[in-house]
């Protein structure tokens, strides 16, 4: 079974790998139900979805009748205005077939203009706070992508006492001194405040070429079990973080198998050799 760690201040001990339910965006219900069996077999007890993940919430909904108590359930709103975000939250509850979620997150809040609107008067944050007050969500988080998101999360945490953050983290990105410093600063703040940290893109190899996509992830992933092992074990070597699985159901068993065997972080030399052999590159262009 996969190890569990406290998910910040929530009181929930979440599996160190969370199910990244973007993988269900275009899945059939049969495919989704087979994924559920894999999650239960490995002891995954935390699902992370979003209003904008295609049919993901619809596929999770049927699970909740029998398994609501088995999962910490998180979703996201990508709206920036309060009214639209509130509509998103109610629609997500309907699609998920639940009366509340454990975590509502402001989705991909990285652009300064989006940030000002969502965090300002009448913005999405106010809708999330209201949802918490009404018992529709228990906790509030913020997520994002790109080279600047760690710095943006510091700004978000200075404005509001979020319960969780989500951001990219892998060995390749950590070789950029500015990103590494920003990530470590966010991690330090989160440890001090007992805020949960979720990491994504940990098995990313680089952007897809223009043709020949073989997975439903928006980036080209590592594929061999040995490489996935290294990437997953390196990410989980950051104490207290939780890793979201990749957005592809065929990769799910490999990621969970790697997580189940996690003991220690690979050496930087081993990781650097993998970066070279797999020709790993940036997902987000040049660092800012």
Nearest to 219 by CA among 4, 10, 20: 20
Q: Strands, E, within the chain: which ranges?
A: 4-6, 13-15, 17-20, 46-48, 72-77, 101-106, 137-143, 164-168, 196-200, 204-207, 219-221, 241-244
**C-alpha–C-alpha distance, residues 268 and 275, integer Å:** 10
The Cα-based distances of 223 to 5, 251, 254 in angstroms read 26, 8, 9
The DSSP symbol for 3 reads -
pLDDT of residue 212: 76
Strands 13-15 and 4-6: antiparallel
Ranges of residues in the chain whose predicted pLDDT is under 50: none
**C-alpha–C-alpha distance, residues 26 and 176, integer Å:** 34
The residues spanned by each domain of the chain are 13-277
DSSP string, 176-206: SHHHHHHHHHHHHHHHHHT-EEEEE-TTEEE
Q: Kind and range of the H or E element at 104?
A: strand 101-106
Half-sphere exposure of 194 (CA within 13 A, CB side): 9
Superfamily designation of domain 13-277: NADP-dependent oxidoreductase domain (3.20.20.100)
pLDDT of residue 40: 98
**C-alpha–C-alpha distance, residues 280 and 84, integer Å:** 38
Q: Report residue 122 CA to chain centroid gap.
A: 26
| The token pair that represents 272 in the structure block | 């650097």
**C-alpha–C-alpha distance, residues 196 and 114, integer Å:** 23
**C-alpha–C-alpha distance, residues 186 and 126, integer Å:** 23
Residues 6+ apart with CB under 8 A from 10: 72, 102, 103, 138, 139, 163, 164, 196
Supply the pTM of this predicted model.
0.97
Scanning the structure block, which residue is given the tokens 């906790």?
A: 139
């Amino acid at each position: 079974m996969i190890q569990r760690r406290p998910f910040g201040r929530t009181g929930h001990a979440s599996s160190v790998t969370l199910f990244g339910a973007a993988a269900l965006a275009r899945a059939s219900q049969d495919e989704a139900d087979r994924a559920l069996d894999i999650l239960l077999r490995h002891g995954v007890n935390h699902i992370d979805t979003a209003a904008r993940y295609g049919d993901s919430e619809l596929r999770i909904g049927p699970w909740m009748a029998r398994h609501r108590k088995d999962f910490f359930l998180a979703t996201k709103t990508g709206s920036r205005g309060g009214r639209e975000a509130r509509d998103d939250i109610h629609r997500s509850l309907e699609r998920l077939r639940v009366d509340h979620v454990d975590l509502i997150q402001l989705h991909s809040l990285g652009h300064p203009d989006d940030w000002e609107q969502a965090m300002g008067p009448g913005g999405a944050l106010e809708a999330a706070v209201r949802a918490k007050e009404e018992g529709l969500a228990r906790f509030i988080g913020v997520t994002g992508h790109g080279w600047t998101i760690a710095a943006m999360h510091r700004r978000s945490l200075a404005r509001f006492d979020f319960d969780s953050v989500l951001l990219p983290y892998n060995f390749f990105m950590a070789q950029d001194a500015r990103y590494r410093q920003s990530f470590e600063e966010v991690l330090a703040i989160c440890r001090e405040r007992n805020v949960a940290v979720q990491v994504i893109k940990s098995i990313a190899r680089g952007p897809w070429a223009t043709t020949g996509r073989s997975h439903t992830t928006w980036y080209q992933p590592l594929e061999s079990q040995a490489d996935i092992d290294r990437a997953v074990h390196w990410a989980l070597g950051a104490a207290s973080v939780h890793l979201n699985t990749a957005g592809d159901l065929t990769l799910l068993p490999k990621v969970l198998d790697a997580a189940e065997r996690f003991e220690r972080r690979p050496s930087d030399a081993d990781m650097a050799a993998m970066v070279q052999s797999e020709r790993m590159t940036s997902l987000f262009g040049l660092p800012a």
